[in-house]
Each structure stands twice: as structure tokens, then as C-alpha cells.
Chains A and B, each alone.
Chain A
Amino acid sequence: MSFADIQQQARQSWMRFARPDVPRVLVGSATCGRAAGALDVLAAFREQCADDPALKGVDIHEVGCLGMCYAEPLVEIRGSEGSSVLYQGVGVDMVPDLVREHLGRGKPMVEHAACLMAGPPVEGLSRFQDLPMIRHQLRVVVRNCGIIDPSNIDHYLARGGYSGFTRALGMDQDAVIEEIKISGLRGRGGAGFPTGLKWSFARKSAGDVKYVVCNADEGDPGAFMDRSVLEGDPHAVLEGLLIAGYAIGAGHGYVYCRAEYPLAIERLRTAIAQMREKGLLGRNVLGAAFGFEITIKKGAGAFVCGEETALMQSIEGKRGMPRSRPPFPAVSGLFGKPTNINNVETLAAVSAILEKSGAWYAKIGTEKSKGTKTFSLAGKITRTGLIEVPMGISLRTIIEDIGGGVLHGKEFKAVQTGGPSGGCIPAKHFDLPVDYEHLAQVGSIMGSGGMIVIDHESCMVDVAKYFLEFTENESCGKCVPCRMGTQHLLRMLTDIAAGRGRVDDLETIRKIGDTMTKASLCGLGQTAPNPALTTLNSFMDEYLAHIEERKCPAGVCRALIRFSIDAGQCTGCMACTKACPVQAVAGKKKKPHRIDQNVCIRCGACRQACKEGAVMVE
């Protein structure tokens, strides 16, 4: 079958799926949706529809993630009237109503809806692309996520999938690389190295056997962009890998995926089997003189295995430990052969670029940072989720417009980007354009795209300590600056948080941080001090308060705070008494309560429980 036939067939299958007169239910059941109960909701829909003979024809599908984590589980319903409505926060108890009203009677339930996805307008519902969270986004990498059934290759094909690859196949290999260079795409795995340039190195390396590797070992705490793409649109990544393989002359690709992503691995397996069925893998891919195979490798869960040299060691069955470069993987990589390694998001962008053209991609973004970038928005923000924005968008737009501002309208203090390798950007840089250069300028990094919003109730020492706890644990232990440096940084941060800090610790943190940045072997150690160094630079007063006044201004560090109850505000509702795990709060009903400081363990449960805001922290 020719590719045109394959596409034709796929379009037919997609048409049925997309036809506005067929009622259907799409349940967002990626890992994030599942965590919110999507599978129960899915089962409930199946049951309800099976019970009613009139609804036998309803198509029920699982789809990937639309990125609106705060609103999960998300269900898109299209009734016979043709309007596709996205419902948010769907619980099993809502299913009978939704089935009856929307599917049965063709009456969308506006009170549960988030937006209109497609079809005739519905009174009181804005369109998906007009939602404040979506309006500023540009969905390239996640173009299909939440829209297609990721276990159906036809859906991908019908939406232009693999046409980028067929285009590449018709081009000279160097021309493919040139196309990527034109696009200006830079690696999305963290360091931002120009992808086209990297490919050209691997292409130029001598050798018959070469490899391409997809790095799907997303290990930053709080980052889940890669997982979403793999779960919602695996073919976008696999097509990118195929193109990379063709461009550099590799016959074998590996996808190195963390074992903690079972659904992603399942989706990849299904997708690879489908590729083989369609002739997109094998000795002669689509009948061309290009052979390609893909193997999935499960990672053992060490953060450092995301580092490219460690990752390759791990694929080889050795302990995942970085080694010094040069030689670079493009010269001597997997099994000593020239290897090109790219991140999930990079490859998903590659397939889009080959489909649409490098020039198209280069129009997006800023001069040096082209295209779009995904972020996982988390922390103290109203709308958490996965977003994709053009490079150069301001932090303010991301946080205020897309994210809906700081949670509960509190004051914005800082944003942490780049996870454990990144830094904290203080509020004064609120209008900073988000791209590689500007983030670096303020001491942070793009990283893989974690973005954690911090408000005034978060302590910066505590934030730094949190990330150092992570890196101290995840340092592979090979090189001295990182292994010992993380231990000392964590020790001093712990001391400071516990009120045992000394002023000269701050100087030592700087000195050790500098040594780690310059002398560590791999990126983990080189960037591990960033959370400490950037908070120290921007929030020196907070550190000094901990050390000199033995106070935690944010009221977070347990050793330095005490909770007390403002007798004036306390109504004696006893909510705090019930919440306290150690019975430190006492008081009669309707009378002001008191906290016994000797018993209190400073967990803050009372403060959260109190509706009057009577629990004070100092």
C-alpha cells in the first residue's frame, strides 16, 4: 500500500470519528486524568450507554490530556445536535445526567461545561481557543493531545501525521538537516543546543552503524510535559525519531522511558506495532531504501539517567553514570557508535517542522529562541496544567492570563523554572520574556519546562532545601564537587531552616556553588546549586532573617515559628481542636482557644482549619 492509500484509509476512519452527527464521548484518560478518576468515569459512560438501546451507537474513546489539570477529569461530549462540549470536574455521579441530557436529549449542560470544543455555538459557552487559559497558547507539540485517540494511528495520520516523514524521505538527508537548521529548533531537554547542528555532527561522524535515541526519562519533580505527549500523541514523537534516523543515517532508534510511566510505555508499544503494520518500520520503510527499527528501554528511575551519557550507559545495561565529554555521543555514543539523542518534545516538534516547514516554525518565537515551549504550571497558581506557548511570551502573561494568577489572589513572590537545575525568578522580573537567553540572564534556566509559582507563604530557604534534597539524593556519586557539594549545601540549608545557621554559611554556599557549577562532571552537578544560589541572590534578607533573627518570615520553617490564636478573632468553633494531630489546642466551645507551645509540633493544621484566620504564625 502506498502512503497515499494509507492516508486515504486513515481519513476514512477519522471521518467517522469526526463526523458531527455521530454522538461520542471522549474521556481524557492520560495519567493525570486517571489520577483524578477518569477511568471510573469512562466505565460509567460505557455502562450508561450500554444500558440504553438508543445510545448503542455512541462512540466512547480515551484521549490524551488537554493540559487543563485543574479541571480534570475532562470529558468531551458530542450529542446528536452536533455541539462538542468539554465538561470539567466530571464525577461518576454526574454521568447519568450528562448522558441523559446531552447525549439523550441533545441539551448540553452548561453548568458543568468548561467550553465548546466544536460544532454549533451553545448559549453561555465560549470556544476552547477563546478560553483565557488557551487563548495565549500555541499548540504545536501537543497539537493532537486530547483531540485524537492516541491508540489509533489513523487519527494521527488523518491529521497530517507521517506526511513530514514522507516529505523527508523525498529529500536529501542534508536537506532534512538544513530544514531543521532553518527552523531554529533548539533541544528541549534542557540545554537548548541547536538540534540541526547536533544532527549534522552525528551525520558527519564516520561509521555504518549509528543510533538515534529519544530521551523520555523525564525526571524533574513536577515536570510531566513529555509524559503527556507520549500518552496523548506517541506517533508525533516516533515520527520525529524516524526523521532523525533518516537524516543522520541511523537504522535503529531507542526510546528510553522511565519505568514510572507505564501508560506511556503501553502507548508507545501500541504505536510501534501500528507503525510496523503500516510499513513505517522494517527493512524498507515505505518501500524506500531506508531501514529502521525502534526499541523501548525502561529506565530504572534515577534522575541522572536522563543525562545523555548516563542514559546510554543505562541502555547498554551498565550503571547509569555520566562520563566526561569529549568524546561526544555524536562521535562515540551508544555501544561506542555515533549517536544522536533528543528529547521527546524536540522530536515532536521535528515532525511538525517537517510537515509544515522550517520557515513556518522559525516565524514563531524570538530571534534566538524559535518555536514554542511546553511548561507544566504548578505551585500556588489558580489554573495548574500543561501549557504550550510561543517563546518570548512574558512571565506575566503565563501567570496572570494563562494561569489565572496566584492562588486565592495572594501576592506573587517568585517563580521557579527548570526544576532542581533551575532557579527562582523574583517578582521584579515579572515582565521577563520567557526564552533561553532571558532566563539565563536572571540566573535560571529553561530546563525541561517545570514552572512553579511561589507566593508569600512559601519560604525561599525551604524551596532551595527542597530541591537540594532532591539533587543530593539523585547525584550519581561519581564526581567530587557534586557528591560532596550537594551534601554540604543541603546541610547548611537544613541548619539555616532549623535556626542553626551561621552568617558565614552563606559565603560557603556561594563558594561551593561556584565550584560545583564549574568543576562538576555533568549537568546535574553543574546546575544543582542554582536553586540555592538564585534564592540567595534575590532573597538575601530572608536568609538573614533565619540566621540573625532566627525567624522564618514566610512562617514555614518549623523550628523558627510558633502558632498562636488571636483571641479577638477566634469564635471558638473548635475546627482547630479537631485538626490538631497532637491535641495542642484547647478551649471551650464558643470561647477563644489557646495553643500549648510545648505540645505543638508546628504542622500548621490548625491554621489551615481555621476559617476565621485567627491562627497566627510568627
Chain B
Amino acid sequence: MNLVAWIYFPARLAWRQLIFDRTKLIAATCGVLFACVLVFMQQGFRDALYASAASAPVKLHGDLFLMHKQSEAMWRPVRFKRSELMRALGNPAVAEVYPLYLGLAPFKNIETRGKRTLMVYGFDPDSLIFDIEDIKNKRTALRLKDTVLFDEYSRPEFGPMRQLLEAGRNVTEVNDYKITVVGFFRLGVSFAADGNIATSDLNFMRIFPDRTLTDIDLGIIKLYPDSSITQVQAELSSQLNEFVNIFTYDELLQNEKNYWANMAPIGFIFGFGTVMGLVVGLVIVYQILFTDITNHRHEFATLKAMGYEHGYFIRVVFASAFFLAILGFIPGYFFSLGLYHLAESKIFMPMPMTFGKAMTVFLFILSMCMTAGFLAIHKLKAANPADMF
């Protein structure tokens, strides 16, 4: 028998049996759809978390990055001495080094006067360590005393800053220190901070009076063109104190992602959520296929009596599982797409529906249905042709 007939005929029978009972088909589809949406949301939140966790380093402009070994992630750094960063200048390939100061501080909403924590980035305005045009363009304004740039992608709870600024209301408090918002940039929120402001290193010290310029959170190293990043990285790691990590740009990104994936329980929670969604879906699909086989066992036994082989019915079951996966996934995809848009507009998390994500979820759902099919085929033994007469 040729391959097309081998799968086509059982698939056709599975399809005809599926669409015969519309009510049951709708119930079954809803089960898969439910699992699908659950998995999509878990994956979406998880990816949003990673994306936003890495949103700050993504925009950093440097070749190598110094971080304290005990710094788990950028939002909770362990400080180290600026002199350690300066020692990197001893390497002939190093062109410039810049410190970055990070601190979480309450920001007062100008309208409501409510306070909410955001991330403050302090750096030399002339250093150009951020690859963000708006920051580069505003560097003269940033050099003034008590000026900050506000991240437009911050959560709305900080107030409608653009309108306020246009209305001339641009003075507020960060860490109970009066500052002036002189412009905007775009970075994005993360799970660690609901918003961001950028300011000069000197202003940073004014906002955080207990901080000093000599204790830095992150060191950014720029090399002369044509020098090998990995070679300099190796050289520096033997030259510098061993309590600092020297990351390349990609390693820094990876370090941030790993933190959220492994160190923080959040990565585990979303992984767990995904597994639970799949388990619930598995149980539903198994239940559907199992009762389906039970209901059709006389029909299957009749076909067996006519000379159909056991493998044919296994293919019928797997084809049903496949159809359920497709039928549940398609509406599940569009439903999740809607929820992604909703999440983006309501909670300002970046939730893009990428082809890769859709593919991943589809493969999850497909394997879920196939596993359910695999578990259900043992019930086919109940279809005994000897009981047909």
C-alpha cells in the first residue's frame, strides 16, 4: 500500500468521525484551545521578562564590561572601586573606560504626588555609552545641575510626563531630591523596575547622597578599532583583580537572561506554568480520545472483522490527535494574539508574537496531543472482532 493511502484513509476516517459529533468536537477544541492560550501566555510573559531584563544592556555601547563577581544582575549590583576599572587602561588595546552608576529610587508623580520606584542610570554625559540618540542629543542639557531624562516607555503610573513637560510642569523629586525633567528617551520597563531615568554622574551623586564617584556598579570598556575583544578579555582577566567579571557584550546579555531564567524563581514559575498548561491539555485530550475509542470500539471491531489491521486504528487515533491539535491551535493562536496586544497596551510589557514562538507553542501542543494519543491507543484492545457476531 502506498504511503499516501497508508495515512490518508485512516486520517479521513478520523476526520469524518470527528466532525460527525459537532458538540463533542467543539468541547474537544476548547480543551486544546485552553491549553494553547495558557502556554502562549506563559511563554509570552517569560520572553517579555527576558527581553525587558536585557533591555538596558541591549542599548549599552561598549566592547567589554566589568561587573563585580557577586553582582547577580544589573538591577542589584555589588559595587567595586573605580580604580579597578582605571587599571584596564594599562592595556594598550583599551581606548576608553567609563563607569556606570545604578540605583533604584522613588520617583514622585507630579500630578498625584504618589511615589513609585524606578531605575536611575548615572554616567558621564560625554561618554556616549548608551546607544540611544535622544541621550546623545541631550548631553549638554544633562551636564546642568539636577537635570534628568525620562524613559517614555516607563509605566503610566509615573504620570503623563510628555504632557506635563509641554505644560511646563517638569520639576519633581527623585529619592526626595528635587530634579528637572529636560527630555525623553526610550528604553523600556523590566521586572526589576517600572521605569527609568538617565542623569549625569554628578547629578546621580546628588540624588543618592550616600554614593561616591569612586564606587561604581558597572564598568564599560571601549577598545581601539581592530583589537581582538576576546584576546583583550583574556589579558584583562589576568591583569585585573579576580573579584571582577569581564564580559563581552553577548556575555553580559546572557548573564542578565540567565539571572532571570535560573536565579530568580520567575523563570521557574513560567516554566512550571507551561508544564501545567500542557498537563491539563494532555488530560483533556486523553479523555476525549479515550472515550472516542470506547464509543467507536464496535465500529473498529467491525472494520477489523472486514480485514483492517490493528495499525490502521492506531493511525486513526493519531490522526484524531493531530486534528485536535490543529483545530485547537488556530483559534488559540488568534486568541493569544489578542491577549498579547492587550498585555502590551495595559501592562506595557513587550509581548511580540513571533513566528518562532508560534512554532514552539504549536510543537508543544502537537506533542501534547500525540502523547495523549499514545496513551489512549491501549484502549484499542477493547475492539475485538470476535465479539462482533
Partners in one complex: no
Interface residues of A (CB under 8 A from B): none
Interface residues of B (CB under 8 A from A): none
